[in-house]
Amino acid sequence: MLNVVVLVSGGGTNLQALIDAERRGELHGGKIACVISSREDAYALTRARQADIPCEVLLRREFKDQNAYDTALLELFKRHQADLVVLAGFMTIIGDRVICEYRNRMINIHPSLLPSFCGEGYYGLRVHKAVLERGARITGATVHFVNEVCDGGPIILQKTVEVLDDDTPESLQTRVMEEAEWHLLPQAVSLFCQGQIEVCGNQVRCKPMEQQEDSI
């Protein structure tokens, strides 16, 4: 059984999707071992505590520099024996040292179809606003491994969501979460924990989509 450590900063809707999947027995080969928040007031901590998941709070402002913060983060990962680190709306910069140590063992969920609408400044409602301003008819979500390039790591899973004529950034955000993010993230975690993901350069090989859907 692999230990999954989830990093959060806000409401924790993707964390809740993982918690619900674990309760249904759908995180095959894995369990949520700890939730680490970059904010003391993140509602994600409430979700974790209600599910009896150990929690940690690590505030960037309490560290003199990035290196000190990264050291503390790595110590938490080791304390909770992290096999997989999941960024679920984590809004604090993680240094290259952490990324290197957890190469192909750290994943992120992004609310667009990478490589579109990604990179520095593209997060939360900003992504969906940009999608609407561009006039895109299709959007979606992506789970990818984290590397040193923002949103640039190997893509694990993607799912499309139709953009409707009357969409607002808020309505689009909700539908992308409900139709894509909350399904993709537990899927990807389960695949990883079962050893069914292989990374070759910037390419990922895993089970065909129809088999993945059978597992959730």
User: What are 17-32's pLDDT values in tens digits?
Assistant: 999 999 999 999 999 9
Q: Helix crossing, 13-23 with 182-193: angle to 10°?
A: 50
Task: Round the average pLDDT of the chain to a whole number and report it.
Answer: 94
pLDDT above 60: residue 214: no
128 phi and psi angles, rounded to 5 deg: -70, -35
What residues contact 169, with CB distance under 8 A and at least 6 apart?
125, 128, 129, 132
Q: What confidence tier does 213 reach under pLDDT thresholds 50, 70, 90?
A: very low
Q: What is residue 207's predicted lDDT score, i.e. its pLDDT?
A: 64
User: What are 61-104's pLDDT values in tens digits?
Assistant: 999 999 999 999 999 999 999 999 999 999 999 999 999 999 99
Rounded distance between C-alpha atoms, residue 104 and residue 75, angstroms: 19
pLDDT above 50: residue 216: no
The residues spanned by each domain of the chain are 2-214
pLDDT above 70: residue 204: yes
CATH classification code of 2-214: 3.40.50.170
Q: Report the pLDDT averaged over residues 4-11.
A: 97
DSSP for residue 179: I
Q: Report the pLDDT averaged over residues 107-117.
A: 97
- Residues classed as catalytic: 110
